[in-house]
């Protein structure tokens, strides 16, 4: 039963029972409607209370039903809310836990609302590229005022119930009940019934006035503000339109306007992308052969080996989560440098008002340093972030194997080395895995969790749980060269090199890709990360794979010492102390000369071709990664690119984007690229999985 019905004296209590968040799917809506009918038919019932079972009141419409017949099957959410408002007996919402989206809209349709304190109240639809489509944009301004309501609707951010209840003139809550919420709500229902018997009509939010003293100017201002903020997303602007309709139009006409805008947004690719990312993020933590109830090891103490660029950032993640960290180095100077960088980072946050001084103190108190392995022997999790050299890793892992307590998890932050080979340095490969953080490790959301051939399931489950604690989006990758993200970026970089050879400048490529929505084009990204890293990798890799053609332009750049921002020159020029990328005449001349050497007459390549050659390079490699089982689902690959590589969120990730284009069309375009004699026909050979899906009219996701 998706909602239960019980009598509490003269009040019928309908309890939403659709765990974990009581989403208003078809079955739940139908069960609530049944409860309302039952209460209406029972002469002994004077009023109704709707509340949530478990920890939530209601997380909103069931997003999983979107796009299916069940989403609109009657009673749909509109019908249900209308039934509540039109009920002959008072209906009161007892808001016991998180109350969001359609859940808040349902509560706003009730005649009264009583909430527990500390409850998150929100209309977060905008985060899914939508607007509240069941009256939220029409009713919330009527109870909180236009400005407060619009603010909540365009940001989607939750506000605590007691804060809203304290707003002057608010009509959202009749009361906040710290204890005995259900009793308070039942009492409110009976009080409303008594008033009704005395001739007072039941209060309905729709009957309240909705106005703003300076509406036109205010909405003009709001529209400009959200335009700057919304960039590639239409939803915030439509939220303003819908709330303006609440002021301009009678209630029912406003509701109809809201409905039209909602339907438009629901069909938009931006909303599809955001919904894909919402579920993709949650799906990433589910590993097909690791059951959710796999026991986890306790992680109370962490050790980090190496206090360099990555070790410092990695440590901060755990300190931020209140977990003590010991950092181990080879020399005291290295420890001092590492700790000074951590301090500097925290102090910058304190200065910007992002971190309270006492929190900074608390975090630093959790940090200790050592030069001796015996001081970390009882850590539950060790993360190695020393130089990227197998010999150094070998020494570290052999020592860890000797000193660490049994059951400790041994992780490597390696970005290119074989995790199975690292595990083989120990006698406990089941406890070894990769935790590939991205730089800056205290900021970047992505964590690739690299599962070795022998990694135990409980080790994997533990690390996924730890990742959640330190607020990372963790995605499991199998062992392969570059794991998921860097293996794909290698093909993207190769293709970017071919574009230069054929006639592009770095600035032209970057501009096209940034217009598509990437945070940064490939050449600006190279300058930021350091072009020498790729150079070193290519020196190794293309000796091993001489058949793999790549453009030498990036090598020529490095041979000139142009490593990027850190050397003041890369694909672009940089002024001292500034990060602005200034197109470089020297680099353009270098590329021109190389092109002439190859005998290539430059061609003007349209932006559209640039973007598709780069994005489909990612997609084709991703299809191989998926088929090989390196990633267990397409959405995992999208999460890697959305959270670690600046792929535009409104496109949903490379796989979601390819699906939106249609895989048949992707393959057709790749065939066109393959026919270009200056490109590489083998590069554009569609991955078998991609070819099969395209031929079958199927998609990745
Ligand atoms: N519909 C369907 N499933 C939902 C859901 C929803 N509205 N909200 C959460 N879930 C699912 C999640 O997918 C997850 O499923 P899983 O266990 O299978 O992975 C599970 O519930 C638990 O979710 P979280 O891991 O996110 O749990 P938290 O406790 O961390 O957070 C929450 C709870 C704050 C409610 C968070 O889930 C959330 O923000 N949900 C989305 C809320 C939302 O956007 N509501 C608006 C929906 S659109 C709408 O109502 C349209 C209407 O205006 C017409
Ligand atoms: P780094 O050079 O900044 O820091 C390495 C630190 O390890 C130095 O402080 C060094 O003194 C210390 N160290 C070396 N040998 C040691 C040993 N035997 N015992 C203890 N400490 C030792 O290097 P960085 O950039 O932090 O990289 C570390 C690891 O993280 C590498 O495996 C790298 O591939 C990986 N990585 C780096 C990323 C980056 O963007 N820098 C991103 C993701 C992973």
The secondary structure of 439-496 as a DSSP string is SSTTT--EEEEE--SS--HHHHHHHHHHHHHTT-EEEEE-SSTTHHHHHHHHHHHHHH
Per-residue confidence (pLDDT) for residue 226, from 0 to 100: 94
Find the 331 Cα to ligand 2 centroid distance in Å.
Answer: 14
Ligand 1 atom nearest residue 131's Cα = 53
567 and 650 assigned to the same domain: yes
| Annotated active-site residue in 65, 105, 362, 628 | 105
> Closest ligand 2 atom to the C-alpha of 412?
32
Ligand 2 contact via 394 beta carbon (within 6 Å): no
CA gap 133, 235 in Å, rounded: 12
pLDDT of residue 312: 97
The reply to whether 112 and 43 lie within a common domain is yes
The ligand with the least distance to the CA atom of 128 is: 1
Same domain membership, residue 213 and residue 88: yes
In a domain, 293, yes or no: no
Overall average pLDDT of the 462-485 stretch:
97
Residue 376 domain flag: yes
Single residue among 266, 287, 321 that ends a domain in this structure: 266
Q: Of 10, 243, 275, give the one whose Cα is nearest residue 125.
A: 275
pLDDT at position 340 = 97
Consecutive H or E run containing 559: helix 553-559
Query: Which atom of ligand 2 is the closest one to the Cα of 337?
Result: 9
* Mean pLDDT, range 363-378, rounded to an integer: 98
Q: Report how far ligand 1's centroid is from the alpha carbon of 19 (Å).
A: 10
Instruction: Spell out a b/e string for 119-136, using b for 16 or more CB atoms within 10 Å of the CB, else e.
Output: bbbbbbbbbbbbbbbbbb
Structural domain that includes position 666: 485-695
Mutate to test the pocket of ligand 2, among 307, 312, 313, 386 (most ligand atoms within 8 A of CB): 386
Q: Of residues 6, 65, 125, 402, which has the active-site annotation?
A: 125
Paired tokens of 474: 């963790």
Domain ends where: 430, 456, 477? Answer: 477
CA of 183 to the centre of ligand 2 (A): 59
Q: Is the pLDDT of residue 602 over 90?
A: yes
The reported pLDDT for the residue numbered 376 is 98
For the cut 80, the answer to whether the pLDDT of residue 547 exceeds it is no
645-695 confidence digits (pLDDT tens):
999 999 999 999 999 999 999 999 999 999 988 878 889 999 999 999 999
How close is the Cα of 447 to the center of ligand 1, in Å?
Answer: 23
* pLDDT score of 543: 72
Closest C-alpha among 637, 663, 301, 286 to residue 488: 637
Last residue of a domain, one of 477, 498, 521: 477
Q: Is the CB of 63 under 6 A from ligand 1?
A: yes
Alpha helices of 583-653 — where are they, by DSSP H? Answer: 585-598, 607-627, 634-644
393 and 256 co-located in one domain: no
Count of domains for the chain: 3
* Distance from the alpha carbon of residue 380 to the mean position of ligand 2, in angstroms: 21
Ligand 1 midpoint to CA 65 (Å)? 12
Confidence label for 541 from pLDDT (cuts 50, 70 and 90): confident
Q: Is 23 in the pocket of ligand 1 (CB under 6 A)?
A: yes
Any ligand 2 atom below 6 A from CB of 446: no
Atom of ligand 2 nearest to the CA of 338: 9
pTM: 0.94
In short, whether 638's Cβ falls inside 6 Å of ligand 1 is no
Of 21, 53, 67, the one to substitute when testing ligand 1's pocket (max ligand atoms within 8 A of C-beta) is: 21
DSSP β-bridge partners for residue 619 = none
- Determine whether the shortest distance from the Cβ of 128 to ligand 1 is under 6 A: yes
pLDDT confidence tier of residue 392, bands split at 50, 70 and 90 = very high
> Is the CB–ligand 1 distance for residue 292 below 6 Å?
no
In terms of domains, do 473 and 611 share one?
Answer: no
Average pLDDT over residues 81-96: 98
| Angle value at C-alpha 533, between 527 and 535, nearest 5 degrees | 95
Verify that 67 and 214 share a domain, yes or no.
yes
> Mean per-residue pLDDT for 102-125?
98
Say which CATH number the domain at 72 has.
Answer: 3.90.226.10
Rounded Cα distance, 79 and 65, in Å: 17
**Whether residues 79 and 115 fall in one domain:** yes
**Model pLDDT for residues 308-324, shown as the tens digit of each residue:** 999 999 999 999 999 99
* Residue nearest ligand 2's atom 40 by CA: 439
Decide: 612 and 684 in contact? Cβ < 8 Å. no
Indicate if 492 and 473 belong to the same structural domain.
no
pLDDT, the chain, mean: 96
For residue 550, tell me if it sits in a domain: yes
Residue 57 and residue 98 in one domain: yes
Length of the chain: 701
H or E element that contains 281: helix 269-284
Average pLDDT of span 442-452: 97
125 lines ligand 1 (CB under 6 A): yes
Confidence band of 577 (pLDDT split at 50, 70, 90): confident
For the cut 90, the answer to whether the pLDDT of residue 120 exceeds it is yes
Which ligand has its closest atom nearest to the C-alpha of 391? 2
Whether residue 242 is found in the same domain as residue 329 = no
Is any atom of ligand 1 closer than 6 Å to the C-beta of 135? no
Residue 343 lies in a domain: yes
- Taking CA atoms only, the protein residue closest to ligand 1 atom 13 is 279
CATH code where residue 393 lies:
3.40.50.720
Q: What is the CA radius of gyration of the chain?
A: 29
Task: Give, using CA atoms, the residue closest to atom 20 of ligand 1.
Answer: 20
Residue 680 located in a structural domain = yes
Respond yes or no: is residue 105 known to be catalytic. yes
At how many degrees (to 10) do helices 654-661 and 663-674 cross? 90
- One domain, residues 605 and 689: yes
| Ligand 2 atom 15: residue of nearest CA | 386
| Domain co-membership, 202 together with 340 | no
DSSP code of 564?
Answer: B
């Amino acid at each position: 039963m998706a909602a239960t019905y019980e009598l509490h004296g003269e009040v019928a209590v309908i309890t939403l029972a659709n765990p974990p968040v009581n989403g208003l799917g078809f079955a739940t809506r139908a069960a609530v409607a049944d409860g309302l009918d039952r209460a209406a038919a029972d002469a002994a019932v004077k009023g109704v209370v709707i509340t949530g079972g478990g920890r939530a009141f209601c997380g909103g419409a069931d997003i999983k039903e979107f796009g299916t017949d069940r989403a609109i099957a009657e009673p749909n959410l509109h019908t249900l809310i209308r039934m509540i408002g039109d009920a002959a007996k008072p209906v009161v919402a007892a808001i016991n836990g998180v109350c969001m989206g359609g859940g808040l809209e349902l509560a706003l349709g009730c005649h009264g609302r009583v909430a527990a304190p500390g409850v998150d109240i929100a209309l977060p639809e905008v985060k899914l590229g939508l607007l509240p489509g069941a009256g939220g944009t029409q009713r919330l301004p009527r109870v909180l005022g236009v400005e407060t309501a619009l603010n909540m609707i365009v940001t989607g951010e939750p506000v605590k119930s007691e804060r809203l209840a304290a707003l002057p003139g608010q009509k959202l809550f009749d009361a906040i009940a710290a204890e005995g919420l259900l009793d308070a709500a039942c009492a409110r229902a009976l009080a409303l019934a008594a008033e009704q018997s005395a001739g007072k009509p039941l209060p309905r939010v729709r009957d309240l006035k909705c106005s703003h003293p300076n509406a036109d100017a205010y909405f003009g201002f709001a529209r400009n503000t959200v335009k700057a903020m919304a960039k590639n997303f239409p939803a915030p602007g439509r939220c303003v339109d819908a709330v303006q309709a609440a002021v301009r139009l009678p209630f029912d006409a406003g509701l109809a306007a809201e409905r039209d805008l909602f339907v438009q947004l629901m069909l938009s690719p931006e909303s599809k992308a955001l919904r894909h990312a919402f579920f993709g993020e949650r799906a990433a933590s589910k590993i097909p052969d690791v059951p959710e109830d796999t026991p986890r090891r306790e992680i109370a103490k962490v050790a980090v080996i190496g206090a360099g660029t990555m070790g410092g950032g990695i440590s901060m993640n755990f300190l931020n989560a209140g977990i003590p960290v010991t950092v181990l180095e080879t020399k005291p100077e290295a420890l001092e440098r590492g700790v000074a960088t951590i301090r500097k980072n925290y102090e910058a946050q304190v200065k910007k008002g992002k971190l309270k001084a006492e929190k900074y103190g608390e975090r630093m108190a959790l940090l200790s340093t050592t030069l001796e392995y015996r001081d970390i022997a009882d850590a539950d999790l060790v993360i190695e972030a020393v130089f990227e050299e197998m010999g150094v890793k070998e020494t570290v892992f052999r020592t860890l194997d000797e000193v660490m307590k049994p059951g400790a998890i041994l992780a490597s932050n390696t970005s290119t080395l074989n995790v199975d080979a690292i595990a083989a340095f120990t006698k406990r490969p089941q406890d070894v895995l990769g935790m590939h953080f991205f730089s800056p490790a205290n900021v970047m959301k992505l964590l690739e969790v690299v599962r070795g051939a022998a990694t135990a399931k409980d080790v994997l489950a533990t690390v996924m749980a730890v990742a959640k604690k330190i607020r990372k989006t963790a995605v499991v990758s199998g062992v392969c060269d570059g794991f998921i993200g860097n293996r794909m970026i290698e093909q993207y970089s190769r293709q970017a090199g071919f574009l230069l050879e054929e006639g592009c400048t770095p600035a032209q490529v970057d501009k096209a890709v940034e217009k598509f929505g990437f945070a940064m084009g490939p050449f600006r990204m190279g300058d930021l990360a350091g072009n020498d890293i790729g150079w070193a990798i290519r020196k190794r890799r293309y000796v091993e794979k001489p058949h793999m053609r790549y453009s030498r332009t990036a090598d020529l750049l490095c041979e000139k010492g142009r490593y990027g921002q850190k050397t003041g020159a890369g694909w672009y020029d940089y002024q001292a102390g500034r990060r602005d990328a200034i197109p470089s005449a020297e680099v353009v001349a270098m590329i021109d000369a190389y092109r002439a050497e190859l005998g290539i007459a430059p061609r003007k390549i349209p932006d559209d071709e640039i973007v598709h050659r780069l994005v489909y390079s990612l997609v084709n490699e991703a299809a191989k990664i998926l088929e090989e089982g390196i990633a267990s689902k397409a959405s995992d690959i999208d999460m890697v690119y959305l959270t670690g590589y600046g792929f535009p969120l409104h496109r949903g990730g490379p796989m979601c984007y390819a699906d939106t284009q249609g895989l048949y069309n992707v393959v057709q375009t790749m065939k066109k690229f393959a026919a270009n004699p200056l490109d590489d026909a083998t590069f554009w050979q569609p991955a078998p999985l991609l070819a099969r899906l395209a031929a079958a009219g199927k998609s990745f996701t």
